[in-house]
Chains A and B, each alone.
Chain A
Amino acid sequence: MTAATANTSSLSWYEAGARQRIDALLDPRSFSEFIGPEQRETSPHLPIFDLPRQFDDGIIVGRGRLGGLPVLLAAQEGRFMGGAFGEVHGAKLTGLLRAARMLGQNVLILFDTGGVRLQEANAGELAIAEIMRAVIEARRAGVRVIGLIGGRAGCYGGGSLIAGTCSSLIVSEQGRISVSGPEVIETNKGVEEFDSRDRALVWRTMGGKHRYLIGGADIFVDDDASAFRQASIEALQCQARCDLPMIEAEQRRLERRLKHFGEANDAVEIWQAVGIDKPAEIPGLPTEEYLRRAADKRENADDAR
């Protein structure tokens, strides 16, 4: 199967479940799952809290094809426990990434996560650390690890740190990326620091449009599964490296960002400084016009990451 035969109808990435996303993303009938729901490898910890379990613990891992090329894939289900990393959930991704290094096969991670699952916080935190190490070891072996972000739960907490280790990130406007979530900042530092109910503030501070403009993501797409598919095929062409020159380029890129935008109080100020025409209009722009204004102006990470 090739790209041309896949998924013709439109599907909102934000609204879709993890299994729907996989079906729409990969070449038809190419996916096979490792430790599927029939294995019933559920969380051993949620019963302590009298919470219901899900048969796949909120993540699906397996192999398939994308544009004819073999890939390994993990997809989080953001509706189950906010897509959070628990022990089994995290270990499935760790195991997949270790296999990627051994096989030299590229990996797609469909993020949809609030971060670490508090009911198994220590196991979740360690899973994040193990996954980040496994990502870097896979990248050092020449594997591309591509992150896709545009789900309901966004990509928060430890999930956002894993995203930060990826070779390339694809994001939609809905794809919020942040370490501390809006409610966490408000709870700890007060509503004056961050008003979590101000949705416009949340989106322009953490949303995909901002991340793409400052170089925090590499490809910006519509909230549509076929757009994520095309972008993933494109992302598989990104450079597969993780060496000293690349890390030095990353250091320069991130230092430059602090130098140029470190004093800004709001995303619109940053977009202005980036050189975007009429920056206040950015949140309301349709994708095509947004990309037109971003082109040649946005910060990029093409030689870094």
Chain B
Amino acid sequence: MEKLNFKLNAPNRARGTRAQAIVGVVASGNLEVLLERVLPPDVCIIEIATAAHGFGAVWEAVVRDFVTRRAAGGLRVSVNDGGARPDTVALRLAQGVRMIEEPEA
């Protein structure tokens, strides 16, 4: 497994009040994303464990784009990756922030 960690300044504070959300599944070509609202609102930490080695630069591009465009401030985002393509990663991250915005059940 390769572990990657990114601590980024987040321009957009995560919306909603839910404490956490989880989307996706660890399977071939797929990933799970756990989001927890535990950080200051201008910070986003993304921790990745991936089965595919040597893709650090691709991950960095995807997560920087995610934090810039989505409301991810205040979130600790943990990823378990089963070898997903970058577009799948971006989709799951977007689904994650949408889910944590949903009203508390």
Contacts and interface: CB of A to CB of B under 8 A. Distances in A.
A257 to B, nearest CB: 37
Contacts of B4: none
B26 interface: yes
B51 A54 contact: no
Interface residues of A, number: 17
B81 A38 contact: no
B105 to A, nearest CB: 4
A232 to B, nearest CB: 20
B26 A54 contact: yes
Contacts of B78: 40, 55
Contacts of A52: 1, 26, 49-51, 80-82
A79 interface: yes
A17 interface: yes
A39 to B, nearest CB: 11
24 contacts: A29-B105, A36-B20, A37-B20, A38-B34, A38-B36, A40-B78, A47-B1, A50-B51, A51-B51, A52-B1, A52-B50, A52-B80, A52-B81, A52-B82, A54-B25, A54-B26, A54-B32, A55-B22, A55-B80, A77-B25, A79-B25, A79-B27, A80-B26, A80-B27
Secondary structure of the B contact surface, majority rule:
strand
Contacts of B82: 52
A47 B20 CA distance: 26
Secondary structure of the A contact surface, majority rule:
loop
B30 interface: yes
Interface of B: 1, 20, 22, 25-27, 30, 32, 34, 36, 49-51, 78, 80-82, 105
B30 A79 contact: yes
Interface of A: 17, 19, 29, 36-38, 40, 47, 50-55, 77, 79-80
A19 B33 CA distance: 14
Contacts of A19: 22
A47 B36 CA distance: 24
Nearest to B82: A52
Contacts of B34: 37-38, 55
A238 B49 CA distance: 45
A61 to B, nearest CB: 15
Contacts of A51: 51
A55 B32 contact: yes
Nearest to A54: B26
Nearest to A55: B34
Contacts of A47: 1
A51 B52 CA distance: 10
Nearest to B50: A52
Contacts of B105: 29
A47 B49 CA distance: 11
A36 B18 CA distance: 15
